Amino acid sequence: MNDFWENVYIQTAAYYSVAVLCAVLFLTILELVTKYKNLEQIQQGNLAVAMATGGKIFGIANIFRYSIENHDTLFTMIGWGVFGFVLLLIGYFIFEFLTPKFRIDEEIEKDNRAVGFISMMISIGLSFVVGAGIGE
């Protein structure tokens, strides 16, 4: 049975499955945090929401990439993934705090693509910073 878990295909499938499940959970949490409905807005063609959501998906996946690369158990990978997600969420609130002249969620819901783009880049950028720390 030990050989089964050491098979690279089994490990890859396990990492993939856990990362996808965690991403779905994290995106559900983000759906609760934002004032707009991500999928509804994307279906309506709101590019700002699509960019912001895409950045969050990339950020989550990138954190899991670093976690898988630098740790050898699923539990450790999940732990770093959760920690990284919390840091991304904190980054979202910091972005909101640093823009007192307008509300991020309201601008993204109005399809303000500049705000959507910056939100996407913040998620992506922070995921690289978090990922760099995971390797330590």
Residue range of the domain that includes 78: 2-134
Q: Dihedral through CA 59, CA 62, CA 64, CA 68, nearest 10?
A: -170
Question: How much is the pTM?
Answer: 0.88
**What percentage of the chain exceeds 70 in pLDDT?**
96
Q: What is the pLDDT of residue 20?
A: 95
Tokens of 12: 């890859």
User: What's the structural domain count of the chain?
Assistant: 1
Mean per-residue pLDDT over the chain, rounded:
91
Q: What is the pLDDT of residue 134?
A: 86
- Among residues 57, 61, 55, which one has the least CA distance to residue 15? 61
